[in-house]
Amino acid sequence: MELRWSLKSFESLSSHELYAILRLRNEVFVVEQNCVFQDADNKDQSSLHLMGMNGDGKLFAYCRIVPPGISYTEPSIGRVVSDASVRRQGAGKLLMQEALRSCSVLYPQQVVRIGAQLYLKQFYNALGFEQTSDVYLEDGIEHIEMCYTP
Residues 6+ apart with CB under 8 A from 110: 68, 74, 75, 103, 150
Residue 85 lies in a domain: yes
Share of the chain above pLDDT 70, in %: 99
Residue 8 lies in a domain: yes
Query: CATH number of the domain that 100 lies in?
Result: 3.40.630.30
- For the chain, give the mean pLDDT: 94
Residues present in the chain in total: 150
Q: Name the residue among 112, 117, 123 with its Cα closest to residue 138.
A: 117
Q: Is residue 79 a part of any domain in this protein?
A: yes
pLDDT at 133 > cutoff 90: yes
In a domain, 133, yes or no: no
Domain assignment of residue 138, yes or no: no
At 149, the amino acid letter reads T
The answer to whether position 36 is within a domain reads yes
Residues 79 and 115: their CA atoms lie apart, in Å, by 9
- Structural domains counted in the chain: 1
* Single-letter amino acid, residue 8: K
Q: Containing domain of residue 26, as a range?
A: 4-108
pLDDT for 32 equals: 75
Q: What is the pLDDT of residues 12-66, one digit of tens each?
A: 999 999 999 999 999 988 777 777 777 889 999 999 999 999 988 899 999 999 9
Does residue 50 lie in a domain region?
Answer: yes
* CA 31 remoteness from chain centre: 17
Q: Determine, yes or no, domain membership for 148.
A: no
d(CA 24, CA 113): 23
CA–CA distance, 48 with 31 (Å, rounded to integer): 24
